[in-house]
Amino acid sequence: MTTSMTGSMTSVMSTSMRTHTCGALRLSDIGQTVSLCGWVARRREHGEKLAFVDLRDHTGITQCVVDNDVDVRSEYVVRITGVVRARPEGTVNSALPTGEVELGECVVEVLRKADPPPFPIDARADEVDEGIRLQHRYLDLRRERMQRNLRLRARVNSAVRAAMEEQGFVEVETPMLVPSTPEGAREFLVPSRKEPGAFYALPQSPQLFKQLLMVAGVDRYYQMARCLRDEDLRADRQYEFMQMDMEMSFVNQDDVLAAVSHSVLAAAEAATGVRPPDIERITWREAMERFGVDKPDLRFGMELVELTDVFASTEFKAFAGAASIKAICVPAQNTVVDISSFGRNQLDRLTDRAKKIGAKGLVWLKVTEDGIESPVAKFLSESETAEILVRTGAQAGDLVLIVADSWMTTCEVLGQLRNDMGRPPVHEGPYRYVWVVEFPLFVGVSAETGQPKPGHHPFTTPHPEDIDLMETDPMAVRSIAYDLVLNGWELGSGSIRIHEPDLQRRVFSVLGISDEDAAKKFGFFLNPFNYGAPPHGGFAFGLDRLVAVLAGEENIREVIAFPKTQSGTDPMTNAPVAADPRQLAELGLRVLPAAT
């Protein structure tokens, strides 16, 4: 057993069939007789007697010189034994770590022949339709890109586990078959054969169980938890996903944020080799005021600018009396959208976009060397125009976008336009982590009950400074809830939990949940709190999302071994499929015809 290259790693990877992996050989191995196993990535004829075979495994590629009459083709599984030698002068491949050597005097053993693959097992497969790639995912995963992503994911998982355990957390598995609970997202239901007409739910998260673990005295829990939600899929969402879930006792918000930050930064260091700086923190209100979204991307400017006071006495009717007036400045040097060629059609489309998001309209101003161009320029006073340019810092060639509406609508519309006009792909540029804290405890009003809806979940602790507003002004109450955001993607969220029965009843009352309803829906969860619940809080972040960003991917499907398509299907297994009638009968179920 050889220990060349990286020594211990080569030894670990050696087996009875191979001495080295295909990415291991270097000049220091010249003269050794070695055995490699892998897949034929490429075969090239070299005169009448010889051929070059590029042999590939997950570690890389080695060039092997074989007899031309050896019948090996693309994706054949082979074992090649030969002598390591330097490549002839002028044939070194600097793009390969093994590019200075090759294998000569080769003996080839075909371990398994292969049919021609439906797409090339290399970077060219990126251009293949995703449905074809997922149909043959086992081939797609052979590619260097996918192998790299899976192994990066493994490093992240390992670093997260190590970071949690060195902080005294213990890993505990929670159930996959749970009662249905109103946590917000649609659940997957599982029928019970033993109890006809009764159903389990697959967990949206381990939320209730991890809090019960705090009642049980576990003190510090974590889990790499598989969670399932029957929600529409998109680039950062799958039906089933993995999250690092944690809960800890006798803590405040700072304690939880410190523990999670240590874990996330350790994962980033394991993936990139560089530990990011400490994670900055802003309030939800500041995030909305500056960026218009509660998942702010800090990698670029174009922050929202306050103009309400500028138009306090305006004669422009569209702005007169507006509760909130804000603007963003799209710079001429913006690298995401080229505004230098923007004509009236593009500007009209921007206005339509603003209306679709929720605004009544959009005012745009093109800044020129001579002033501004805008359909509303004649309605603005010189002082108003001058103050707009001063506050936005707009220069010639820039584009200023202004919205006047309610505070929330103004923020949200300009926040979306800011992302549309300036946000780079999620994996580009520096990694900008940010904690967003002090979210509203209640958001909006339920159409069903007419009562406020919980901003996070009904067990979130109100901010101590706002508790007195609970009954008189609930929408002004902040919570001790927090989100972790990376480059505009929400990685996860958490909160300090309510552990006092009286405070929990007050929150339920605002939500329109009676004591009877609370006992029915949450009794199994709340009753244990009567036996002594410590102050506690927790968090969970999506491993798929974190790994995708660190891997340089725009879609979490590229870092999941066997994902679903955006329509929720699996082209490889054809899931979901119709159930056998006998199974349905055993479960006491009948499938109704699809609605027309």
Tell me the per-residue pLDDT of 112-158, one tens digit each, with 9 for 90 and over.
999 999 999 999 999 999 999 999 999 999 999 999 999 999 999 99
Q: What are phi and psi of 151, to 5 degrees?
A: -75, -35
Is the model's pLDDT at 12 over the cut of 90?
no
Is the model's pLDDT at 66 over the cut of 80?
yes
Q: In terms of C-beta density within 10 A (0-12 exposed, 13-18 middle, 19 or more buried), how is residue 99 classed?
A: middle
Tell me the per-residue pLDDT of 242-300, one tens digit each, with 9 for 90 and over.
999 999 999 999 999 999 999 999 999 999 999 999 999 999 999 999 999 999 999 99
Both tokens of 286, joined, read 């500041």
Q: Could you give the dihedral angle defined by the CA atoms of residues 529, 184, 480 and 255, in that order, rounded to the nearest 10 degrees?
A: 70
pLDDT of residue 427: 87
- Indicate the average pLDDT of the chain: 93
pLDDT band for position 9 (cuts 50, 70, 90): low
Both tokens of 374, joined, read 């805008």
Is the model's pLDDT at 349 over the cut of 60?
yes
Q: How far is 587 from 192, CA to CA, in rounded Å? A: 7
Across the range 532-555, mean pLDDT stands at 96
Nearest to 438 by CA among 408, 482, 484: 482
Sequential DSSP letters for 527-559? GGGGGT---EEEEEEEHHHHHHHHHT-SSGGGG
More confident position, 451 or 561: 561
SS3 (DSSP) at 34: strand
pLDDT band for position 8 (cuts 50, 70, 90): low
Alpha carbons within 13 angstroms on the beta-carbon side of residue 457 total 20
Q: Which domains does the chain carry?
A: 8-112 (2.40.50.140), 132-276+535-596 (3.30.930.10), 300-423 (3.30.1360.30), 439-479+500-533 (no CATH)
pLDDT band for position 444 (cuts 50, 70, 90): confident
Across the range 69-85, mean pLDDT stands at 96
Across the range 401-424, mean pLDDT stands at 96
Q: How far is 45 from 88, CA to CA, in rounded Å? A: 17
Percentage of the residues of the chain whose pLDDT score is greater than 90: 84
Can you state the angle between helices 501-510 and 515-526, rounded to 10 degrees?
130
Predicted model pTM: 0.91
pLDDT of residue 353: 96
Tell me the per-residue pLDDT of 187-200, one tens digit each, with 9 for 90 and over.
999 999 999 889 99
pLDDT band for position 448 (cuts 50, 70, 90): confident
3-state helix, strand, coil split of the chain in percent (to 5) is 30, 25, 45
Q: How far is 378 from 400, CA to CA, in rounded Å? A: 16
More confident position, 339 or 559: 559
pLDDT band for position 11 (cuts 50, 70, 90): low
Across the range 226-237, mean pLDDT stands at 90
Across the range 419-433, mean pLDDT stands at 92
pLDDT of residue 4: 41
Q: How far is 10 from 199, CA to CA, in rounded Å? A: 50
Amino acid at 301: G
Is the model's pLDDT at 3 over the cut of 50?
no
Across the range 223-230, mean pLDDT stands at 96
pLDDT band for position 5 (cuts 50, 70, 90): very low
Across the range 350-365, mean pLDDT stands at 95
Percentage of the residues of the chain whose pLDDT score is greater than 70: 97
Strands 433-437 and 280-283: parallel
